[in-house]
Amino acid sequence: MIAKAARAVLILALAIAAPGVALAQAPAPDAVKRGEYIFNAAGCLSCHTDVKNNGQPLAGGREMKTPFGSFFGPNITPHPTYGIGRWTEAQFRRALREGIRPDGAHYFPSFPYTSFSGMSDGDISDLWAYMRTVPQEARPNTPHSIGFPFNIRLGMIGWKWLFFTPGEFKPDPAQSAEVNRGAYLTNHLSHCGECHTPRNSLGARDRSRHLGGGAIHEGPAPNITPHPTGLGKWSPADLLDLLKNGGKPDGDFVGGEMAEVVKETTGKLTDADLQAMLAYLRTVPPLESQRRK
């Protein structure tokens, strides 16, 4: 009897506390709105949504084939058990900036934290505000299927030591505000180099071939440096068109993963941000394509 009463009190207490907690932590609407823009600019949806099998947004299960095996994007909805509903903003920040899981384990760079690391504190806060507003989904994560020794998370300590310097993006004072904004978008938020920069045998981007064309996912991504074998011959208007709606000068449309980038990311950016990206792309060192097109 006493136990029953105690339980009733407990349930009542929880019922009162729960909405109170939710109210106290409700993210500010303007932060959510800014966060949605960051979310699109960063293309968070694609790798975390199993579009092929009609998966719920951000509930995970999307397969990413790489030379090391298949990675599956985890559930990042605010579900308390299957998603990241119990995370704090500080844990979220650490995941993006340092590639570290709340329990201290290291993420694989198939999660492009090597690019996201440069995101500003303000953008990460806004993104976090938005992430808390997406619908929860109770989908358990699909384990990665990657071979030894790449499946060892501890191995990531050495990898990070070799290839990763975490830290917020620092503008180059020698460049205009527009070019710096473009660099921030291209190299960090929109992580264009994750596909357009080639990788070494350990899966790290080859800095000497920045944006020179690469392949790790399903298809090869072309050279987007200003060299004539890259984007050198494209007019600014044609490039803007491609980023906005995927249309190419020959009337064709970009395919594969770039079609997804246009749909989820560049097609949702403001003209000013797209122009900034293009301004930055004109300043990167031109590299001759290594692959025959």
Q: Which parts of this chain interact with ligand HEC (CB under 6 A)?
A: 42-44, 46-48, 64, 71, 73-74, 76, 84, 95, 101, 107-108, 110-112, 116, 127, 186, 190-192, 194-196, 217, 219, 221-222, 224, 231, 239, 242, 254-258, 261, 265-266, 277
For the bound state, the minimum distance from the C-beta of residue 6 to ligand HEC, rounded and expressed in Å, comes to: 35
For the bound state, the minimum distance from the C-beta of residue 19 to ligand HEC, rounded and expressed in Å, comes to: 26
CB 264 within 8 A of CB 43: yes
The full DSSP string for 55-92 is PPTT-B--EEEETTEEEEPPP-SS-TTTSSTT--HHHH
Q: Residue 20 or residue 236: which is nearer to ligand HEC going by CB?
A: 236
**Euclidean distance between CA atoms 82 and 201, whole angstroms:** 33
Q: Residue 183 or residue 239: which is nearer to ligand HEC going by CB?
A: 239
For the bound state, the minimum distance from the C-beta of residue 147 to ligand HEC, rounded and expressed in Å, comes to: 15
Q: Residue 4 or residue 143: which is nearer to ligand HEC going by CB?
A: 143
How many Cβ atoms sit within 10 Å of the Cβ of residue 103? 6
For the bound state, the minimum distance from the C-beta of residue 59 to ligand HEC, rounded and expressed in Å, comes to: 12
Q: Which of 206, 203, 166 is nearest to 188 (CA)?
A: 166
Q: Residue 11 or residue 59: which is nearer to ligand HEC going by CB?
A: 59
For the bound state, the minimum distance from the C-beta of residue 53 to ligand HEC, rounded and expressed in Å, comes to: 17
For the bound state, the minimum distance from the C-beta of residue 258 to ligand HEC, rounded and expressed in Å, comes to: 3
Q: Residue 11 or residue 147: which is nearer to ligand HEC going by CB?
A: 147
**Euclidean distance between CA atoms 187 and 69, whole angstroms:** 25
CB 16 within 8 A of CB 244: no
Q: Which two tokens stand for residue 12?
A: 């009542």
For the bound state, the minimum distance from the C-beta of residue 169 to ligand HEC, rounded and expressed in Å, comes to: 14
145 by DSSP, 3-state: which?
strand
Q: Residue 18 or residue 247: which is nearer to ligand HEC going by CB?
A: 247
Q: Residue 168 or residue 257: which is nearer to ligand HEC going by CB?
A: 257
Query: What crossing angle do the helices spanning 256-264 and 236-245 adopt, rounded to 10°?
Result: 80
Q: E strands within 150-275?
A: none
Q: Residue 7 or residue 207: which is nearer to ligand HEC going by CB?
A: 207
CB 85 within 8 A of CB 138: no
**Euclidean distance between CA atoms 229 and 222, whole angstroms:** 9
What residues does 221 pair with on adjacent strands?
Answer: 214
Residue 144's contacts (CB-CB under 8 Å, 6 or more residues apart) are: 69, 70, 71, 72, 108, 110, 151
For the bound state, the minimum distance from the C-beta of residue 200 to ligand HEC, rounded and expressed in Å, comes to: 18
Q: Which two tokens stand for residue 116?
A: 């996201």
